[in-house]
Amino acid sequence: MDFSQPLKVSEVAHIIDAEILGNAEEETLGLNELHKVRKGDITFVDAPKYYSRVLSSEATVVIINKKMKVPKGKVLLYHNAPFDAFIKLIRYFRPFESASEIISRDAEIGEGTIIQPGVFIGNHVKIGKNCLIHANVSICDHSIIGNKVVINVNSVIGGDAYYFQKQGDTFKKFVSGGRVLIEDNVEIGALCSIDRGVTADTTIGRGTKFDNHCQVGHDTVIGKNCLIGAFAAIAGVTIIEDDVILWANVSINKDIVIGKGAVLLATTAADKSLKGGKIYMGSPATDVRKYWREHVAKSKMPEVLRHLKM
């Protein structure tokens, strides 16, 4: 999530009431979680087992709950509750804005775009030219839709991320401050949900087509010209590269990469990254040729066991 203009560390520290360890005049450019962090970003860490990983990341500023020697090129903001401080920053720079109209007055809608009855368009939404938005679609705040996009009935674009942190005997919600970006010539079926990013963007590449009842989690990036079958469930922070085909009822775990041109047959479940250019089947996902060899071998086991008993 980028700031509208660079901010000095001293300004950020004032917002969250943190102690500055390092250069208070260093400039920050935005907020991001560890998996999306860039130079100039602010991120946070509150668990000792992740200190090393976060402090060696690209982040320029780290909100942390321990005073220590400041690593080279970093500024630390000491705070006793880094998670809460980070959420406060998200809310400060991208606050919730209630809707007073079904189509926000500040929404930008391109020439030739058709908006069917019952469509909700939130604040700061941009929709390109010659799109078709069917009845009862909800396009939530800050979403950006390209040209010639079709979104079918009752789909939700830009709902909150399903993201919670366990704290004691309860869960704290990670407030969503990111966006959904949908590129040109995308088609989204009925009753699909594409969640906004937490601090970055959930992105759907040009020419990709969704069937009905698909779920895309926060911060996931889907490439160009992909086909996503009905009931596909794609977890957050996943990368689906170009030309991938996911047939019906495919499940994709979080934090993995599905390589370019991969095909996952119906009901396949991927729990780890998969190479491109191959066909996969089963749960967990297996190269289809290996899957069928194993299936044939298993089918012959009863006969093998009968011979062994003889």
pLDDT digits (tens, 9 = 90+) for 158-187: 999 999 988 888 999 999 999 999 999 999
Q: Specify if 235 maps to a domain.
A: yes
Q: Specify if 39 maps to a domain.
A: yes
Q: Specify if 298 maps to a domain.
A: no
| Antiparallel, parallel or unpaired: β 279-281 and 263-264 | parallel
Residue 309 has pLDDT above 80, yes or no: no
Give the number of domains in the chain: 2
| Cβ-contact 251, 270 below 8 angstroms | yes
Q: Specify if 310 maps to a domain.
A: no
- 67 and 213 in a common domain: no
- 258 and 113 in a common domain: yes
Q: For residue 234, what are the domain limits?
A: 108-291
- 183 and 44 in a common domain: no
How much of the chain exceeds pLDDT 90, in percent? 89
Q: Specify if 307 maps to a domain.
A: no
- 219 and 143 in a common domain: yes
- For range 260-266, the mean pLDDT: 98
Residue of 250, 245, 239, 249 whose CA lies nearest to 263:
245
Domain CATH code at residue 244: 2.160.10.10
Catalytic residue selected from 124, 218, 295, 307? 218
Residue 303 has pLDDT above 80, yes or no: no
Confidence of residue 145 (pLDDT cuts 50, 70, 90): very high
Selected residue with higher pLDDT from 288 and 280: 280
Residue 305 has pLDDT above 80, yes or no: no
- For range 21-29, the mean pLDDT: 96
- 165 and 88 in a common domain: no
- For range 87-104, the mean pLDDT: 95
Q: How high is the pLDDT of residue 56?
A: 95
Q: What angle in degrees, to the nearest 10, is found between the helix axes of 9-16 and 82-93?
A: 110
Q: Specify if 139 maps to a domain.
A: yes
Q: Specify if 308 maps to a domain.
A: no
Residue 295 has pLDDT above 70, yes or no: no
- For range 190-200, the mean pLDDT: 97
Q: Specify if 98 maps to a domain.
A: no
Residue 266 has pLDDT above 70, yes or no: yes
Q: What is the DSSP letter of 300?
A: T
- 157 and 54 in a common domain: no
Question: Which residues make Cβ contacts (< 8 Å) with residue 110, sequence separation at least 6?
Answer: 127, 128, 129, 130, 131, 147
| Antiparallel, parallel or unpaired: β 233-234 and 251-252 | parallel
Q: Which DSSP string do the residues of 132-159 spell out, in sequence order?
A: EE-TT-EE-TT-EE-SS-EE-TT-EEEE
- 83 and 141 in a common domain: no
Structure tokens at 272: 């780890």
- 115 and 89 in a common domain: no
Structure tokens at 227: 């086909």
Residue 149 has pLDDT above 70, yes or no: yes
Q: Of 62, 93, 124, which one is at a domain's C-terminal end? A: 93
Q: How high is the pLDDT of residue 291?
A: 73
- Mean pLDDT across the chain: 94
Cis peptide before 48 (omega within 30 of 0): no
To the query of whether residue 218 is one of the catalytic residues in this protein, the response is: yes
- 89 and 206 in a common domain: no
Residue 306 has pLDDT above 90, yes or no: no
Q: Of 63, 93, 123, which one is at a domain's C-terminal end? A: 93
Distance, CA of 216 to CA of 203 (rounded, Å): 10
- 169 and 89 in a common domain: no
- 120 and 68 in a common domain: no
The torsion of the CA quartet 193, 197, 203, 209, rounded to 10 degrees, works out to -10
Q: What angle in degrees, to the nearest 10, is found between the helix axes of 288-299 and 301-309?
A: 40
Three-state SS at 263: strand
Domain CATH code at residue 20: 3.40.1390.10
How much of the chain exceeds pLDDT 70, in percent? 95
- 124 and 25 in a common domain: no
